[in-house]
Every structure is written in structure tokens, then in C-alpha cells.
Structure 1
Amino acid sequence: MNETQNRASIVFGMGCFWGAEKRMSEISGVLDVESGYAGGDSASTSYQEVLSLEKALHMGMSDERNHAEVIKVIYDPRLVDLETLMIHFWQNHDPTQGDRQGNDVGSNYRSVIYYQQENEKALAEITRERYQQALSQNGYGAITTEIAPLKNYNRAEEYHQDYLQKNPHGYCGLGGTGVLYPD
């Protein structure tokens, strides 16, 4: 197996990328987690552009699709499988909240899985259905997570990378539902 066969990636959005990055980086077999922006209409973007567009959307001054704050999880598939990563994704945030997580509100904080291959899409849909059953049994509403092809990925600014490692008392609004993924 060569170096590229030992690396795969998937892009998740769980609200603010700071907490998502920290939580996913703690999984054995994850090689790196990078904060970024994806899923918006513009080919490139910055944090300030995401915030400005979100404000314009709320004021009715734009109909452009905003980017979501996302993380690119780079992992070794020999050490951790994609299903395990998706289970952590589902359990580490509330995928029923729509355009928000905790105190973070806006379309840039939406729950997303951006896939690059059809098998990733299929697994995302299967795990969503299984987790929806568990959530429904515990009184939660419908999962609002967007599952779509990866589009317009942009690496976030350097100060966003490993943010909670650099700022251990920084804000993280990420909180799961407490509902475990079914065995």
C-alpha cells in the first residue's frame, strides 16, 4: 500500500469548526483535522466573507448560498473506518437543529456531510437513518443534516486551525444530544 492509499478524507460540518476539529482529532486513526469552509456558491471565501454573507442573507440582501464551517478529517482507513467517523459525527452534535449549534446561529453553522465518492454518500444515508431511529425513540425531531457532494472547499485561516489547542478556554458550543448510535 502506498502513502496515498493510507490516507482518505471526509468533510463534516457540526456547527463551529473549533470544537468539531478538537473532537474528531482525538479519534485513533485520524491523522489530521483541518478547519475550512465548504458548500457555498463562491469558489473562494474567508471568515469575514462568510460572516458578511450571513448578515446579508438575514437582511434579505442576498440569495447566494453561504459556506458552512466544516472540518476535513484526514484518516488512515487501515486504522479507523469511515463508519466509525460518521458515528462520532452523529453523536458529537445535535443534527436536528437546522442552521445552528448551541449559541451559534446561521446557515454557516448547519450540519453537513460533504462526500467525494458514492460509497461515502451511501454510508452517510445509512448511518443517518439508523441514528434518526435512535433520536426519534428519544423524542428528537428530524435530522436536518445536508448530505451533498463536496463543493468549493477552502481551508480556513491559520488562526482557526487547532484553535482549542491554542486557546484551551475558548468557546465551544458543540454538545451532542446524549443519544448513542445504535449497536
Structure 2
Amino acid sequence: MFFLSDMLNKKLKLPTRDEALPGRNQAIPTVAKHHVSKRPLKGPYPEGLEMAMFGMGCFWGAERLFWQMDGVWITAAGYAGGITPNPTYQETCTGLTGHAEVVLVVFDPKVVSYAELLKTFWENHDPTQGMRQGNDVGTTYRSAIFTFSDEQQRAATASRDAYEQSLRGAGRDRITTEIAPAPEFYFAEADHQQYLAKNPNGYCGLQGTGVTCPVPQAVPAGS
């Protein structure tokens, strides 16, 4: 009984560098092309496109949300925000890599704004649950926004503050979402890429709060 409790506690706490699994120097194999769009998963991506990265719990359902949006050129499931280099799915599930399951979104800002991506992010999961998302428990399933520019960082923070007001007005807890500059992104294995396109009846644990997020406005530099 002590052993089970100890394992659960480890999954709710990010590992230190001494605790983290060693990983490997080589990237793990994945698919060459996106199953839905048939575009090259790792690029090169067309000039003028931008990237975003979101953790919403299980990446299967989260990835489907974004590939269905107009203006999204490609999506990829992967791992980010941890310590272990080139982790496997099995390793991340132990909680000893520090990574969250995330979705990389490559989008055309002339068609879909970063603000619209943020709105989709906030409204389609519960960002108040800490190291879990529904029945999916552990550091792997934490809510996270990893940003690729100062502008994205300001927009993400402003959207969090605005949405938190809406959530608190609805009697919800405080937002626990991690917002940080984008770390290295590790592509997940082939089986996890566009999983719900290959398995339409597969598991999707996403569940929003039912609280609407106001579309955040761009925040000027220096604000």
C-alpha cells in the first residue's frame, strides 16, 4: 500500500534533475506526414506561418480540436516542459520525465489569430485542476501554454487573467495553467499522431468548464 501511495505522489510532483529518467540522444521514430492533411509533420513549414504549443491533458483530443480549425496548417502530438531528452510515451507516463503531453500547432495568423487559439484552449479543458485533467492524473496531464514570442507571452497571460475572472464569477477555483517560453518539443511516437483520426471511437478525456472565455485583445509591448 505504501508503494502505490508513493508512486501516486511522484506523479503529482515534478521530478528533480536527479530523479528524472536519463532519456536518449536520438529522437524517437514518428510518422513523416500528418494523417489528415498529408503535409510533412516536421516541416519545413511555409514562410509566414507561426507556431503555438498547448497542454490540455491527453493530447489525443487536444490535437483534434486544433487540426479542425481553419487556418491551422499542421498539428503534432508531443512532449515538452520536462527534463528527460527524447522521452517515450511510457517514460512520460511514469511522471519521471517532467514533460506534459502537448500539441504543437502551426497556423496562419492571417486566417486564425493566436487569440482564437487561446479561446479554444481555455474553453475545452479545465485549467484549474493542477496535475490532472479529469480522470487523467499526473504531471503529464497538466495545463500549459508554451509561448514562442513576447507577444504570445503577453497574450497568454492576459487571456489567463481575463478567463480567471470569468471562472471565479462562476464559482470555479483559480487557474493553475503553466505559462512559459517554449522549451524543446519532442514529437510523440507514430501511434499517437492524429490518434483520433485513425481511431474515431478512441478515448478523449477533454471536458471544458462550460464558462465562455472572452477573446483576448492584443497586449501592447511594455504593458
TM-score by length of 2: 0.74
Q: Does 1:129 align with 2:193?
A: no
* Maintained 8 Å contact 2:72/2:105: yes
Deviation at 1:159, TM superposition (A): 0.6
* Maintained 8 Å contact 1:42/1:152: no
Cα distance in 1 for partners of 2:133, 2:160 equals 18
Cα distance in 2 for partners of 1:164, 1:102 equals 19
For structure 1, the residue ranges without an aligned partner over 5 or more in a row are: 58-64
Paired residue type of 2:133: Q
Deviation at 1:131, TM superposition (A): 0.5
Cα distance in 1 for partners of 2:120, 2:165 equals 16
* Maintained 8 Å contact 1:36/1:72: yes
Q: Does 1:147 align with 2:147?
A: no
Q: Does 1:181 align with 2:223?
A: no
Q: Does 1:25 align with 2:57?
A: no
Alignment-derived partner of residue 204 in structure 2: 172
Deviation at 1:181, TM superposition (A): 1.0
Alignment-derived partner of residue 97 in structure 1: 129
Cα distance in 2 for partners of 1:3, 1:40 equals 28
- What does residue range 105-120 of structure 1 map to in structure 2 within 5 Å? 105-120=137-152
Deviation at 1:24, TM superposition (A): 1.3
Deviation at 1:35, TM superposition (A): 0.2
2:76 pairs, out of 13, 19, 34, with: 34
Alignment-derived partner of residue 195 in structure 2: 163
What does the per-residue CA deviation read over 1:139-166, in whole Å, with 9 as the maximum and x for residues that have no partner?
1010000001111310000110110111
Deviation at 1:88, TM superposition (A): 0.6
* Maintained 8 Å contact 1:41/1:152: no
TM-score by length of 1: 0.90
CA distance 1:3–1:168, shift in 2 (3 Å): closer
Cα distance in 1 for partners of 2:122, 2:169 equals 15
Cα distance in 1 for partners of 2:83, 2:122 equals 26
* Maintained 8 Å contact 2:119/2:214: no
The 3-state SS of whatever aligns with 2:115 is helix
What does the per-residue CA deviation read over 1:85-119, in whole Å, with 9 as the maximum and x for residues that have no partner?
00110001000011111211000000000112111
Larger Rg: 2
Q: Runs (4+) of structure 1 moved beyond 4 Å? A: none
Alignment-derived partner of residue 9 in structure 2: none
- What does residue range 15-94 of structure 1 map to in structure 2 within 5 Å? 15-52=57-94, 54=95, 66-94=98-126
Bigger proportion of residues as helix: 1
Deviation at 1:27, TM superposition (A): 1.2
Q: Percent identity?
A: 48
The 3-state SS of whatever aligns with 1:131 is helix
The 3-state SS of whatever aligns with 2:47 is helix
* Maintained 8 Å contact 1:9/1:72: yes
Cα distance in 2 for partners of 1:182, 1:158 equals 35
Q: Once superposed, what is the RMSD of the aligned Cα atoms?
A: 1.4
Alignment-derived partner of residue 3 in structure 1: 46
The 3-state SS of whatever aligns with 1:113 is strand
- How many pairs does the alignment contain? 171
Question: RCO higher in 1 or 2 (8 Å CA, sep ≥ 6)?
Answer: 1
